[in-house]
Structure 1
């Protein structure tokens, strides 16, 4: 079972990196989200308290994102990106350690391509962008809180239905030689962007609203994915929900009130790294019991699997705490992070810190996972 899982859904990698795909219609806040994501991780307060930081691999990209974030402090929104797919690589460094802990690569899908048919060169660019995003490790699917507030559940039904239609239109171009996809975002986190516009609602309300309004569309989307995937049983969509807000906006004027009052931004890196690994461990443990199975699982993941695990001495140090109480896990993770820092092990330090962030009870109203 374990060997079969790794053969079907993992790819070997020479470097430590995690690719994330961000899907959302035009105007859903993807551009502002990216600028805030980078700018907030550059804030001295964040770097000091979080213990890690992100740095754009491309200097010009980093400067542009930083400038857009600074302009947000003057209530100026960044210009929208149109008809252009671009990847942003962010290196992760641990405070006080020289060695990089790896990188996150952010892929953004232009919203206009979702709703408009393109031909010739631009049509080919659209297909190539879609292929690239579907090679990511995890996907964040944005639902616009502003439209949800105005239209209610029928917006969610339309949103997931239209995305399913786009996947079906692109399927023949994405799958070549009738070979199912092995590399694919196996985990899809459903996000409520511009969540500050509905301050009285929490992530549980959002989860219930999606399930109530679009559960049939989600099921159909899973079926479409199954027809495209190798190891089609290894996928998770509609199980994880996240509230996101790039800043606090005035709901009437649309202007930024407070660019430093964001929601869920600091959870994106931990979710991106930890969630795919946790899901894979759950999938691999199906049908495996006993201490010998745990040992085989640990060794298989350490040697064969994802970018992060293959660089860790023992997977169990961080990811085998799944049955402990939340308080016990948090304490053990802090000890692991502290020990890793002293040893100069930046990878383990970051992964332990990320796992601890997800387990933090303060995030319960912002992030929900039915596997926690």
Structure 2
């Protein structure tokens, strides 16, 4: 039997209304990765697990780049895309072999039409439910706010924003009773809900702080409602972050008869957000967990594959042996791990990155590289991370 080489799989669920740019975003992300224009691809290859899916995304990207043609959206189509991130062939021939040195990203695309329209037939309602069940393994959910619609509603942005968040709330509530068997809340559920401004190139004067302030000013109440609705799905809702993280995204610069795919915003942050943001939240949450051993076990287990980055092999082995009730042990191990996570800033992460590069430690080099991208996103006011 072929051994599984996946050291860490991260899933991200992307929500946005029809026309918000999900297909363009994903196509640009993959096309730039193939052309080694995405941050980190000088060290690793990012490839679609399903070659047919990858070819369609690449075709979309080339259509934008060479013909200024936008990809056709697949109405009501729900698709998950899996990508592997692995060391380039032949790179560092003397590197230590690691049976689990491959990373994987699974990108769930939830149809925007499902937030805006009722099911037309019972079969469609079932499909919506099954699609949502498929993305429950995601740690991060990204809600796209359409920059074009903000422009269209300039001066009265709350009209669009309230509609967007209300539609998401309504759809979640419709799914809730069918997802929660015997009203038992879920341990596995997206616990980090990040707000993303898509088509950010249309609002060049808007930095991420201004985007955050716009949402809080115009729809602060609706964001609180969204947090309450999402909290009603999960066991231990205090281990939840909704509307505390913000990012600007632009797939390209769009002009009449010209699409400049090299002029993007935020696409280099998608992998780092998916891989690293949960680490900064899950460790402190698990550390303070007092009641739910299942949730603490899930949180610690989600970051255990990356523990060599945060601490040491000894600590990684401790995590692997965590007994029940896990909360007690997590409270013992947690402070050290949490401190290590917060140390991944500035010169410290750069030092770890340089050391990993010298040792040809692919996983640590890649993950510290992701952390450096997040820090750079903060500095450039493209990313705004909430505090734990």
Under TM normalisation by the shorter chain, which class is it? 0.7 to 0.9
Aligned residues: 342
Moved more, 141-150 or 312-321: 312-321
The corresponding residue for 1:117 is: 118
Displacement of 1:15: 5.5
- 5 Å-filtered alignment, 1:201-240, equals 201-240=206-245
Does the Cα contact within 8 Å between 1:312 and 1:348 map onto a contact in 2?
A: no
Deviations 1:51-99 (A, max 9, x none): 3331111111111111110111120111101112111111012342586
Deviations 1:105-149 (A, max 9, x none): 000001111111112322211111122223311101000000011
Asked if 1:356 corresponds to 2:372, the answer is: yes
Equivalents in 1 of 2:224, 2:198: separation in Å?
22
- 5 Å-filtered alignment, 1:313-328, equals 313=308, 315-316=310-311, 320-321=339-340
Point out where structure 2 has 5 or more consecutive residues left out of the alignment: 1-5, 291-295, 313-336
The corresponding residue for 1:23 is: 15
The corresponding residue for 2:333 is: none
The corresponding residue for 1:185 is: 190
The corresponding residue for 1:291 is: none
Residues 189 and 362 (structure 1), Cα distance of their counterparts in 2 relative to 1, 3 Å cut: closer
The corresponding residue for 1:132 is: 134
Equivalents in 2 of 1:304, 1:235: separation in Å?
15
- 5 Å-filtered alignment, 1:97-108, equals 100-108=101-109
Does the Cα contact within 8 Å between 1:153 and 1:209 map onto a contact in 2?
A: no
The corresponding residue for 1:333 is: 349
Displacement of 1:48: 7.2
Displacement of 1:302: 12
Equivalents in 2 of 1:361, 1:222: separation in Å?
25
Asked if 1:175 corresponds to 2:171, the answer is: no
Does the Cα contact within 8 Å between 1:302 and 1:312 map onto a contact in 2?
A: no
Equivalents in 2 of 1:238, 1:362: separation in Å?
16
Local SS of the residue matching 2:308 = coil
Equivalents in 2 of 1:357, 1:55: separation in Å?
20
TM-score w.r.t. length of structure 1: 0.84
The corresponding residue for 2:63 is: 71
- 5 Å-filtered alignment, 1:39-118, equals 39-46=31-38, 50-73=42-65, 74-95=67-88, 96=91, 100-118=101-119
Asked if 1:32 corresponds to 2:33, the answer is: no
Equivalents in 2 of 1:57, 1:342: separation in Å?
30
Moved more, 92-101 or 352-361: 92-101
Residue from 149, 156, 161 that aligns with 1:156? 161
Equivalents in 1 of 2:339, 2:54: separation in Å?
36
- 5 Å-filtered alignment, 1:271-282, equals 271-282=273-284
Moved more, 200-209 or 92-101: 92-101
Larger relative contact order, structure 1 or 2 (CA cutoff 8 Å, min sep 6): 1
Does the Cα contact within 8 Å between 2:197 and 2:247 map onto a contact in 1?
A: yes
Residues 89 and 29 (structure 1), Cα distance of their counterparts in 2 relative to 1, 3 Å cut: same
Residues 221 and 48 (structure 1), Cα distance of their counterparts in 2 relative to 1, 3 Å cut: closer
Residue from 337, 350, 363 that aligns with 1:347? 363
Deviations 1:260-280 (A, max 9, x none): 111100100001111111011
Does the Cα contact within 8 Å between 1:302 and 1:310 map onto a contact in 2?
A: no
Local SS of the residue matching 2:181 = coil
Does the Cα contact within 8 Å between 1:22 and 1:30 map onto a contact in 2?
A: yes
Residues 363 and 257 (structure 1), Cα distance of their counterparts in 2 relative to 1, 3 Å cut: farther
The corresponding residue for 2:305 is: 310
Residues 46 and 319 (structure 1), Cα distance of their counterparts in 2 relative to 1, 3 Å cut: farther
Does the Cα contact within 8 Å between 2:15 and 2:144 map onto a contact in 1?
A: yes
Local SS of the residue matching 1:257 = strand
CA RMSD for the aligned pairs?
2.7
Does the Cα contact within 8 Å between 2:21 and 2:198 map onto a contact in 1?
A: yes
Residues 82 and 126 (structure 1), Cα distance of their counterparts in 2 relative to 1, 3 Å cut: same
Deviations 1:209-240 (A, max 9, x none): 00001110111111112222101111001110
